[in-house]
Amino acid sequence: MTIKINAVAAATALVLGTLSTAANAELLITEYVEGGGFNKAIEISNLGTDTITLDGHYELAHHSVNSKGVAGEVQKLALTGTLQSNKSLIFINSGISGPYATKDTPETKALVAAIKANSTADNKVINFNGNDSVVLLKDGAVIDSIGQLGKPSKDAWTEGSFSTKDKTLRRKTSVTTGDTDTSDAYPGTGLSQWEVKEKDTLDGLGCPGEDACTSTATPGVLLITEYIEGTGAKERNRAIEISNVGGTAIDFSEAEYKLNMFWSGSDTNGKFQDLTGTLDAGASIVFYNSDADDALKKVGSSSATTYFDGDESLTLTKDGVVIDSFGKLGDAPEGGAWTDPNNANFSTQDKTLRRKASVTSGDSNATDNFPGTNNEWVVFDVNTADGLGCAGEEACSTTPVDPDPDAPCNNCADITAIKDPSTFNGDIYYSDVLTGNFNTPEELKNALSAIIAKDHVQLSYSQVWTVLTHADQDPGDATKVRLIYSDTPVAKNSNPGSWNREHVWAKSHGFPDEDQWGYTDAHHLRPANPNVNSTRNNYDFGECGDNGVEQSSKGAPGNCLDTTKGVWEPRDSVKGDVARMILYMDTRYQGTDTATTQMDDLVVVDHVTTGDEDKQPRIGTLCTLYAWNTLDPVDDFEKNRNNEVYKYQGNRNPFIDRPELVKEVYGAACGDDPTPTLEVEGEITAPETVTEGSAFTLDASALTAGEDKTLTFKWEQISGEEKTVVGTEAVLTLTAPMVDADSALKFTLTVSDGSLEASKVVNLPVTNVPLTLDVSFDGNIKLTEGDSTTITAVITDAPEGLTYSWKQVSGDAAKFTATGLKLDVTSPQVNISQALVFELTASSDDDSFKTTVSIDVENTEEAGWVKPDGAGSFGGFIALLLPLMWRRRRA
């Protein structure tokens, strides 16, 4: 896949592009991004011919301005390392994400992942708005700048299409020297130095020049990036971090990915963890020991693969093939840990180890020495856990970032309302259902599906952030959202971090890709604590058993996880919310508009999905959810949420608007049929099969419906769409019809007690008996050419009603006439002796029988014909030729 992105894989330099410039050029600011949310970046390029040493000389400074245009504090970032000629450095805000104007795509994700992998994040300097100034210094002297110090703008510096707010600016290739006067008017004469690009244009980061950078997106690369073997209250502070250090997302449903742990010295026994869902480029998965201290459980979920003590080995496998490893498989190290003779601090016991950022491929040889001569690990003190959740050698960034006052939350995209809930009329919206006649619950569900699909507009995954800030707003505080499982309010602007987007219908159950509509359907996406979200994972919904664990330690009291049963039970006050969201998804995605939605038919099943079902469009458990719908009725929060999603997505959840529809659609499947039927016990006695033309009996006299109930019976035979009443007693006796081939009779028995009734279908196979006749032939069947004969067929015990027909099926055409069983034949003149074969067909109304008779005809030599002399070459040739011709003619 070739796409436009800013840089190559993390193993390469931070830069791309070529440019010929003046030899005396210094560093320049070559790109400036001030976009939505935290899409903020600065690109600095070396436009000279020599490599520049940055350490101790160069700084990037941010001069902030408050909302009144008054200058504030100055934040500085020291540039380190070296920068080659015609290469670029990227400095970003860690919250940078994909373009908001369009739906996120794999290309967008790869672009942002590559930017993050090949850049330096600094949330103080790279946190400017359009009225702040950015200055590049060398040894304290200004060598380039954006903005005007001393006269800050209250909003942005603008002129024509040029603006330092909501724009991307790229330095023109003709510019080789910087703007060193920070007090002159801005942009002033420097206006002609910049190409103006649309908001959130990111594809030029990483190379100088006016055009987008181009390269090939690197595939996803899965590595073990952090290992913690620590102490703690239960001596079980253990964790493993797995990261995607490549350029594109990894879909774990496309292969079997596993994390495997092997006991010390073993290469067969141990624990394993299946990897599910998708892992975006640059993202990480964390597994921790269930007995670890809470400080180690801030991200991730528990896994038995963390039951190591320092001398166990680990592997990552894809379809059974090792793609990365830790330790030496099959080896028990001395002293209970692997150590490095070249690094006395290195140990796999009582240490935290992080994979070096330079490592971009896994150790696929699980039996080689560990850590080997090229140790890929950075060592940290015991119980260091601040790096869990992000790849790299440093701690994960926890620096607070001031929210963008113009954005509803971090990573929130701009979105425009398309519906007005105040004008919504349910009688009109659901009129096709309210006035329709439906024979089955499935017909009703299909009609509902058509209604809620009609005006549904697909959201981008970024737009979902925005919708949730409205739909799940805390009723008591407009700056916060309320978390579905934890029931706690958190600041809208604390995402991602304090809250993320929970797919209530787990996305791995049928729609793992963002381009599938269910992935971004806000009716089932809810704010959740990331740790709780990870713990819920993709479990079905159901009632916990004796092995269920209440989730108070995760900040979600009232919720329960039962890994033995494989179910997650939410707190009581949202059980109905969960049920109605799941039933909405089951109804909305019926598989009828797959070409548009890329969605298969989602089905709620009445059991816990296992094995292969985990990746199918299935989730459980139906009748538990049905009961939860009654236990927790629709409340005002849910009604308001339905209105807010409707406002931006255009469709509604019918089970919130019309709660009675839950019973109409799902009641019968869960023993709460809105149209109850008679409960009948007993069996109908019927033969397994019946032969055509023979009598048979269907006996329903054993059926009962209670001691005091008198039953009536109605037997109907089904032919196509029509039904014919063939009996009104418990016992039905009929004769099977004559059939051309094996077939079946279908009967419906309706049993009634006078108020309720029940029906059962009986299928009765009917066996066809082929027509068989005993036939012999009278008459002369040996003729000389030109002679005539009469052949008469004699049939023993011929049934009445047969008709007969004759035809010649072999030999030279003869003259013949036939009447009934009599055949008159005059043989033709023949060149060689041969057989004439005639076929007799005897037919009844629905069957037939065929047999043949053969008449031999002898060739007679013509008068005056003389056998040629065998002498001479010609005669000899004829002598040889005639037998050949004879054989050929006989053949």
For residue range 316-325, what is the model confidence (pLDDT) as tens digits?
999 999 999 9
Mean pLDDT of 360-374: 94
pLDDT at 603: 97
Q: Is the pLDDT of residue 244 over 60?
A: yes
Q: Which residue has the higher pLDDT, 65 or 86?
A: 86
Question: Do residues 509 and 609 touch, judged by C-beta distance below 8 A?
Answer: yes
| 546: Cβ contacts below 8 Å, ≥ 6 apart | none
The closest alpha carbon to 753, from 716, 712, 714, 715, belongs to 712
pLDDT at 720: 66
Q: Is the pLDDT of residue 9 over 60?
A: no
Q: Count the neighbouring beta carbons within 10 Å of the beta carbon of residue 443.
A: 12
Mean pLDDT of 221-230: 96
Secondary structure (DSSP) of 655-711? HHH-THHHHHHHTGGGT--SS-----BS--B--S-EETT-EEEEE-TT-BS-TTPPP
pLDDT at 104: 54
pLDDT at 869: 52
**Banded pLDDT at 189 (limits 50, 70, 90):** confident
Q: Is the pLDDT of residue 824 over 70?
A: yes
Q: Identify the top-confidence range among 21-25, 503-507, 607-611.
A: 503-507
Question: What percentage of the chain carries pLDDT values higher than 90?
Answer: 59
Q: Phi then psi for 71, rounded to 5 degrees?
A: -65, 140
For 396-435, how does the pLDDT look when each residue is reduced to its tens digit (9 = 90+)? 864 434 444 445 676 677 789 999 999 999 999 999 999 9
Mean pLDDT of 848-873: 72
Question: Do residues 644 and 471 touch, judged by C-beta distance below 8 A?
Answer: yes
Handedness of CA 775, 776, 778, 783 (dihedral sign): positive
pLDDT at 101: 41
pLDDT at 197: 94
Please give the Cα distance from 310 to 353 (Å, whole number).
12
Q: Is the pLDDT of residue 254 over 70?
A: yes
pLDDT at 249: 81
| 703: Cβ contacts below 8 Å, ≥ 6 apart | 680, 681, 682, 683, 684, 711, 730, 751
Question: Do residues 278 and 252 touch, judged by C-beta distance below 8 A?
Answer: yes
Q: Is the pLDDT of residue 19 over 60?
A: no
Q: Is the pLDDT of residue 393 over 70?
A: yes
Give the angle subtended at the CA of 654 by the CAs of 653 and 655, to the nearest 5°: 95
Distances 261 to 298, 303, 311, 696 between C-alpha atoms, Å? 22, 10, 11, 66
Please give the Cα distance from 79 to 59 (Å, whole number).
6
Mean pLDDT of 310-316: 96
Mean pLDDT of 746-751: 94
Q: Which residue has the higher pLDDT, 619 or 69?
A: 619
Question: Do residues 301 and 534 touch, judged by C-beta distance below 8 A?
Answer: yes
DSSP summary character for residue 600: -
Q: Is the pLDDT of residue 891 over 70?
A: no
Q: Is the pLDDT of residue 499 over 80?
A: yes
Distances 825 to 578, 753, 777, 836 between C-alpha atoms, Å? 87, 72, 14, 10
| Range with the poorest average pLDDT among 208-222, 257-271, 732-746 | 208-222
pLDDT at 721: 65
pLDDT at 18: 30
Whether the bond into 30 is cis, omega within 30 of 0: no
Structure tokens at 4: 């436009």
| 885: Cβ contacts below 8 Å, ≥ 6 apart | none
pLDDT at 234: 79
Q: Is the pLDDT of residue 120 over 50?
A: yes
Handedness of CA 858, 859, 865, 867 (dihedral sign): negative
Structure tokens at 533: 């979200």
130-168 b/e with 16+ CB inside 10 Å = b? bbbbbbbbbeeebbbbbbbbeebbeebbeeeebbbbbbb
**Banded pLDDT at 66 (limits 50, 70, 90):** low
Please give the Cα distance from 206 to 115 (Å, whole number).
8
Q: Is the pLDDT of residue 612 over 90?
A: no
Question: Do residues 638 and 650 touch, judged by C-beta distance below 8 A?
Answer: no
Question: Do residues 485 and 554 touch, judged by C-beta distance below 8 A?
Answer: no
Mean pLDDT of 658-669: 95
For 268-302, how does the pLDDT look when each residue is reduced to its tens digit (9 = 90+)? 878 989 888 778 778 899 999 988 887 888 788 88
Q: Which residue has the higher pLDDT, 313 or 150?
A: 313
Q: Is the pLDDT of residue 495 over 70?
A: yes
| Range with the poorest average pLDDT among 270-274, 500-504, 728-732, 868-872 | 868-872
Question: Do residues 186 and 192 touch, judged by C-beta distance below 8 A?
Answer: no
Q: What is the average pLDDT score of the chain?
A: 86
Secondary structure (DSSP) of 484-528? TTT--EEEGGGTTTT-EEEESS-TTTT--STTSGGGG-GGGEEEE
Please give the Cα distance from 548 to 855 (Å, whole number).
89
pLDDT at 218: 65
Amino acid at 192: S
Please give the Cα distance from 623 to 605 (Å, whole number).
8
DSSP summary character for residue 862: P
Q: Which residue has the higher pLDDT, 213 or 813?
A: 813
pLDDT at 153: 67
